[in-house]
A and B are shown apart, each in its own frame.
Chain A
Amino acid sequence: MTAPEPPLALLAELTHRCPLQCPYCSNPLELVQRSGELTTDDWRRVIDQAADMGVLQIHFSGGEPTARPDLPDLVRHAADAGLYSNLITSGVLLNRDRLATLDAAGLDHVQLSIQDSETETAERIGGYKGGHRRKLEVAGLVRAAGLPLTVNAVVHRQNLDRLEAMIDLAVALDAARLEVAHVQYYGWALKNRAAFMPTLEQIERATETVDAARARLAGVLVIDYVVPDYYARRPKACMGGWGRRFLNVSPAGKVLPCHAAESLPELDFDSVLDRPLDEIWRQSAAFERFRGTAWMPEPCRSCDQREVDWGGCRCQALALTGDAGNTDPACALSPLHGQVFELARTESASAPPAFVYRRYGNA
């Protein structure tokens, strides 16, 4: 096997601590405690190793990355290493001074999440009173500081009917980009799937809404949007393919091919505390396991799309088929595709159950 290309981006999950409790959180059910987090020096070393191996962008994420008081130090360290830095945040812990400090440290971009366009539902989903209003203020502060802004709206059956209003909100907040992100069902979201699964009719309307908005807002707002897996015909190239474009470092230092990969019990993930990042990327068993196409079963192995979708999502294959090595059932060629579609139909037609909120000890 030839050596893999260096990754383009590092997702640095600084912490699992977060003031919000979104039931669709992409963090694993088993959250890392503060005492288990990497130190500032550990992260500095990771950043240096990432830059040396050819990583170009760093996404500071979590949990809520601004819960770490050393965030400005790490942003500055990344800037000094030549990395393009993006802060993925709920915003609720930010204020004018903290943003000014991050800006001065060399932060390049802010991605702010919203839970809805309406305060009541937004705060019910986030489980954080006053959060929505705080986010709107912070968006204003981000733009006033001259930082470019992307709004990330996670959508599902309980807010999808307000997509138009969320798009208008992104424009009003002077965002240049909007990510309309359907809930992806692993970790906490898998636990809450029946509460979030949209109907097919909602998906069809959402696609029309996005198409119309893209035409209306050309040159004003770029909208990223993809049809969710359960209703798709072809799987997505998860992370651009396993071990091809991205790597993720968890709060405890585990190096993962995607942020949900710890849901795959068959894999052992190496830690930045034990091995250099570059060596883990190139040689670790976990990265080699699903890299490229040699691991694929039929129908993937002989499919002409195998180097387009790279077999889809391993975590989803595990969650829905019981085997991470199976074809992602989001693909219409999977023998289980019909069942998954029906499951989505059935769940979305039933009354949504109460949320299991994402918090320590609640899994």
Chain B
Amino acid sequence: MTGRLVIGEDSVPRLPRHCKMRFDKARDRWVILAPERVLMPDDIAVEVLQRCKGGNVATIIDDLAAAFDAPRETIARDVLAMLQDLADKGVVEA
């Protein structure tokens, strides 16, 4: 299948125009709002998506590895898998 966006460490991920992430006070959690859908990202996804501010995935991984004092290799695997999943759902573009 052509057209599948593949996320690598060089990718610069961002939420597309039709998706918005915001904190929902009523439910006390972060939500992603998309057409006809509300996604409830887990804590790790929130940490990653909050760091999608124009830097590439490698920068995000470095930042998370430092913030959580965790091995870069583990963080990299999790972050790439999560962003790929969100890209396949159309919630992340790069």
**Which A residues form the contact surface with B (CB < 8 A)?**
6, 8-9, 53-54, 56-57, 82, 84, 86, 108-109, 111, 146-148, 150, 176-177, 218-220, 222, 224
**A5–B27 alpha-carbon span in the complex (Å):** 9
Q: Does B4 contact A (CB under 8 A)?
A: yes
Question: CB-CB < 8 A to B26: which residues of A?
Answer: 6, 53-54
Closest to B4 in A: A219
**Inter-chain CB contacts under 8 Å: number:** 51
- Interface flags for B8-38 (1: CB within 8 Å of A; 0: not) read 0000000011101010111100010111101
Binary CB contact string for chain B from 83 to 94 against chain A (1 if under 8 A, 0 otherwise):
000000010000
Q: Is the CB of B5 within 8 A of A219?
A: yes
Bound-state CA distance A148–B37 (Å) is 14
Which residues of A have CB within 8 Å of B18?
108-109, 148, 176
Tell me whether B31 and A56 are in contact (CB under 8 A): yes
Instruction: Report the Cα distance A150→B36, complex, angstroms.
Output: 10
Least CB distance from B87 to A in Å reads 9
B1 at the interface (CB under 8 A from A): yes
* In contact, A150 and B1 (Cβ under 8 angstroms): no
Q: Is the CB of B33 within 8 A of A56?
A: yes
Is B33's CB under 8 angstroms from A148's CB? no
Cα(A284)–Cα(B37), bound, Å: 26
Name the residue on A nearest B87 (C-beta).
Answer: A219
Residues of B within 8 A of A (CB): 1-5, 16-18, 20, 22, 24-27, 31, 33-36, 38, 90
Residues of chain A contacted by B35 (CB below 8 angstroms): 86, 109, 111, 148, 150, 176-177
Q: Which residue of A lies closest to B88 (CB)?
A: A219
Q: Determine the chain B residues whose CB is within 8 A of the CB of A224 once the complex forms.
A: 36
Q: Distance (Å) between the CB of B88 and the closest chain A CB?
A: 8
Closest to A146 in B: B17
| Chain A residue at smallest Cβ distance from B22 | A82
Q: Show 13 residue pairs from A and B whose CB-CB distance is below 8 angstroms, ordered by the A residue.
A: A6-B27, A54-B24, A54-B25, A56-B24, A56-B31, A56-B33, A108-B18, A146-B17, A148-B16, A148-B18, A218-B4, A219-B2, A220-B3
Task: Tell me whether A218 and B17 are in contact in the complex, defined as CB-CB below 8 angstroms, given that A54-B26, A54-B27, A57-B38 are known contacts.
Answer: no
Shortest CB-to-CB span from B25 to chain A, Å, is 8
- List residues of chain B with CB within 8 A of the CB of A147: 17
Are A218 and B33 in contact (CB-based, < 8 A)? Answer: no
Chain B residue contacts of A53, Cβ below 8 A: 26
Among B3, B38, B90, contact of A8 (Cβ-Cβ < 8 Å): B38
Given A219-B4, A222-B90: A84 and B24 interface contact (C-beta under 8 Å): no
Q: Would you call B90 and A176 a contact (CB within 8 A)? A: yes
A8–B3 Cα distance when bound, in Å, is 32
Q: Is the CB of B24 within 8 A of A219?
A: no
Chain B hits for A177, CB < 8 A: 35-36
Q: What 15 additional pairs, Cβ within 8 angstroms, besides A6-B27, A176-B90?
A: A8-B38, A9-B38, A54-B27, A56-B31, A84-B34, A86-B35, A148-B16, A148-B18, A150-B36, A176-B35, A177-B35, A218-B4, A219-B2, A219-B3, A222-B90
In Å, the complex CA distance between A54 and B20 comes to 16
Chain A residues near B20 (CB, 8 Å)? 84, 108
Determine the distance from Cα of A84 to Cα of B39 in the docked complex, in whole angstroms.
13
List, in ascending order, chain B residues with CB within 8 A of A218's CB.
Answer: 1, 3-4
CA distance A6 to B35 in the complex (A): 19
Residues of B within 8 A of A9 (CB): 38
Give the distance to chain B from A1, nearest Cβ to Cβ, in Å: 19
Question: With A and B bound together, what is the CA distance between A10 and B36 in angstroms?
Answer: 11
Query: What residues on A are CB-neighbors of B25 within 8 Å?
Result: 54
- CA–CA, A60 to B27, complex, Å? 23
List the A side residues contacting B17 at CB < 8 Å.
Answer: 146-148
- Which residue of chain A has its CB nearest to the CB of B5? A219
* Residue ID in chain A nearest B33 by CB atoms: A84
Chain A residues with Cβ below 8 Å from B90 are 176, 222
Q: In whole angstroms, what is the CA distance A8 to B32 when docked? A: 12
